[in-house]
Amino acid sequence: MSRDRERPTGVVSGSFKFKRDIDLAIEEFEDNGVNILAPKLGPLLLLPNHTNFHPLRHEYHLPIKLIEDDFLMSIQQADFLYVVNVDGYAGLMVSGEIGAAVAC
């Protein structure tokens, strides 16, 4: 952890089909003094013509690549990555995010 920050920082990763579980983890971390950099709390926006991608409501106008690049940047800046894997399921995107965290 960087000495210029008072609070540890983290990123919570997981399949967004478990977004409620992700939000619960974020709330628990924040209640215990951890600053979660990504993702933001809140519901997903279910858009037509987006087969496997569902952005958060504040991201609906952004390109998918920019959303994921911002998430990966948050991983680089964080002190840790926490993975929510309900019933052992992580998915391909989460696997890549774990790889990004290991690379840091």
pLDDT at 20: 94
Q: Give residue-wise pLDDT tens across range 34-73.
A: 999 999 998 887 766 655 677 787 888 888 899 899 999 9
Residues 6 or more apart in contact with residue 85 via CB below 8 angstroms: 14, 94
pLDDT value at 103 more than 90: yes
pLDDT value at 81 more than 90: yes
* Mean of pLDDT values over 80-95: 92
CA 67 to chain centre: 10
Residue 17: both structure tokens together? 């089909």
pLDDT at 50: 57
Select the more confidently predicted residue: 60 or 22: 22
pLDDT at 53: 73
Percent share of the chain, pLDDT over 90: 62
